[in-house]
Structure 1
């Protein structure tokens, strides 16, 4: 992030997302010094080599360093960060990948999915919380980008002073569809259309699939060639239906490239900050998703003239209820809605309506055990449940 040397990026995790992001970074041609940290270096090496093969086919031959790291070991992670001194750390780890429950039989999946994404927060929080403790331990100045449910996790960690700088995905995944649909409705090329979209994970996940918001609040401003379009000129209901209709995309693991590309856009903007606007969740520990301007001075929520920051936060505060989150207290305590608490109790047999951030590891272990039992009695192979 300085002009006289390469930007150092540490990618932690080489699962589906981490591997896809590595692919895109190597294919971008950006002048980066990339290190991958993985708990299983031998397995990670094969994924790194796959990324390098693909990049070489496209004319890029950038090296990638590989180091072993276990985020559960805070001191080990801190020592690694102190030695590497990365400018950017990208966390692509979690104890519960979002796609795992989709491997359940449809009826079992539907019962559990009614609890919404928020119920898995403890499992998403454990590893990035330990990473942030390591970052603080050595007073690293790295920009930490969290891919693990940042709409909620970043806000909870803020209560401990451990918030990552920003997240990726979620709201960013909905923006391309909105731009394409708006451009089609206005009979313009997509490059002429830009948006500022404010919404929580729930809406950015559901709207592209259903074509509606289910009543969840949001704010959307559309621009053409830099000029704001009056709200009455585009029917949002028709716009969202078009996103889920004409511009519907492949979802699930096969559609993971959208999340990977949103993460790559964020990482490249951070590596060369020039005022780019990238949509992202969890910026500065805020709940939900925002357009974020990337500058040399830092990350700024990019607000349209008609919206204040307080109003943008309020939109996301109320939108999070649809994802099963009642509130996040000042100390980071996560409180689930009554409906999501009922799903945990009635479907998984697990009583949990709130937890403090320091309890996330214990709650995650309990939740994992209850889910493993549910998956087993519903016929999911144990390998897919992990």
Structure 2
């Protein structure tokens, strides 16, 4: 990105996450040329204006362009990308927002949540796959940042040469709590404590709530003033319990600002690639989450001295089992664990053990229909279920 030129960012989607990210980008004061792409122009315009109002109250005034985007129309999306020539594209769309099942009655939610996050992968994959096809169609050089379950989706899309550059959220959402807890245990300011954390979505989602890992594998290196804290000086069990107690945060939709801030940190680092490390899922089409160094030369997994990339990948491949994913094959085929497949069958009446990237749209439609039926009979408002 040329010095003295505004970095052009196309934000696709103005739901909860897309709107929150727009807020933070506008408030950052960074030299950005922002465009929002959405299907519902009136709704998007009102959300953009809300973001501009808020930023103006904080002394920041910046225009935001609005364009119509329907990711299901690949050629139209490709034409738009060719016309705008964005440096960065942020995908904040999905066919199944993570919070939807939380609106179920508690008993119904518990039954479905037993299948873990991986069972919704087809619905997360459809729109970002369409976007990546559009990007490839016009040979765009844009860095694509995917917010839609990148721990698995990015790896699946890599199987057909459509992997986004990197994801956001998930592992990045757990890092601030770990730093706060570690700084408390070391009696140091948080700014003097850094970490390198490797883990799949499951662990980064569960640990801050339960204070444990449930046996899911991970790697964590902790640094104080740039020096690695020797193994054993900080007990990880005590650290994680502290994250879930003393440093527990608001969760759910009310806590969405943490995900939005992780996305904003990634987008700002990409806009000004100065070698900073940002934790992120799905970098370079890999399974799971990693610390990623962002430099002008590109993205690089930032490894502690005693951990190889193969070992980091293996940790995430084993950790994904806890999220209901048995494997992501080299060709992009996603395979569910037996336990998750049983939940799909017993709770939703839907039989699905695996699917290829090419099948994601059809499988997503079937899964959506089964979930809508389940939601209706369990008292969820139809507007939310659909």
TM-score range relative to shorter protein: over 0.9
Give the drift of 1:324. 0.1
Give the drift of 1:111. 0.1
CA distance in structure 1 between the partners assigned to 2:227 and 2:295 by the alignment: 22
Give the drift of 1:4. 3.5
Question: Is the partner of 2:274 in helix, strand or coil?
Answer: coil
- What corresponds to 2:274 in structure 1? 274
- What corresponds to 2:257 in structure 1? 257
CA distance in structure 1 between the partners assigned to 2:355 and 2:300 by the alignment: 30
Pairing 1:144-293 to 2, within 5 Å after superposition: 144-293=144-293
> Deviation per CA, 1:99-141, whole angstroms, max 9, x where unpaired?
0000000000000000000000000000000000000000000
Give the drift of 1:41. 1.1
Question: Is the partner of 1:172 in helix, strand or coil?
Answer: helix
Question: Is the partner of 1:332 in helix, strand or coil?
Answer: coil
**Correspondence 1:308 to 2:312:** no
- What corresponds to 1:138 in structure 2? 138
Question: Is the partner of 1:214 in helix, strand or coil?
Answer: coil
Give the drift of 1:48. 0.1
> Deviation per CA, 1:37-92, whole angstroms, max 9, x where unpaired?
00111110000000000000000000000000100000000000000000000000
CA distance in structure 1 between the partners assigned to 2:16 and 2:43 by the alignment: 13
Give the drift of 1:205. 0.1
CA distance in structure 1 between the partners assigned to 2:281 and 2:150 by the alignment: 6
CA distance in structure 1 between the partners assigned to 2:316 and 2:99 by the alignment: 24
- What corresponds to 2:319 in structure 1? 319
Give the drift of 1:215. 0.2
- What corresponds to 1:48 in structure 2? 48
CA distance in structure 2 between the partners assigned to 1:12 and 1:249 by the alignment: 28
CA distance in structure 1 between the partners assigned to 2:275 and 2:260 by the alignment: 21
TM-score by length of 1: 1.00
- What corresponds to 2:360 in structure 1? 360
CA distance in structure 1 between the partners assigned to 2:385 and 2:231 by the alignment: 45
Show structure 2 runs of 5+ residues with no match: none
CA distance in structure 1 between the partners assigned to 2:109 and 2:2 by the alignment: 47
CA distance in structure 2 between the partners assigned to 1:4 and 1:346 by the alignment: 58
Pairing 1:81-100 to 2, within 5 Å after superposition: 81-100=81-100
- What corresponds to 2:5 in structure 1? 5
CA distance in structure 2 between the partners assigned to 1:12 and 1:149 by the alignment: 16
Give the drift of 1:231. 1.4
Question: Is the partner of 1:90 in helix, strand or coil?
Answer: strand
**Correspondence 1:108 to 2:108:** yes
CA distance in structure 2 between the partners assigned to 1:8 and 1:130 by the alignment: 21
CA distance in structure 1 between the partners assigned to 2:2 and 2:377 by the alignment: 54
CA distance in structure 2 between the partners assigned to 1:248 and 1:378 by the alignment: 30
Give the drift of 1:377. 0.4
> Deviation per CA, 1:239-270, whole angstroms, max 9, x where unpaired?
00000000000000000000000000000000
Show structure 1 runs of 5+ residues with no match: none
CA distance in structure 2 between the partners assigned to 1:39 and 1:333 by the alignment: 30
CA distance in structure 2 between the partners assigned to 1:231 and 1:314 by the alignment: 21
- What corresponds to 1:370 in structure 2? 370
**Correspondence 1:32 to 2:32:** yes
Give the drift of 1:384. 1.1
Question: Is the partner of 1:124 in helix, strand or coil?
Answer: helix
CA distance in structure 1 between the partners assigned to 2:3 and 2:321 by the alignment: 44
Give the drift of 1:2. 1.5
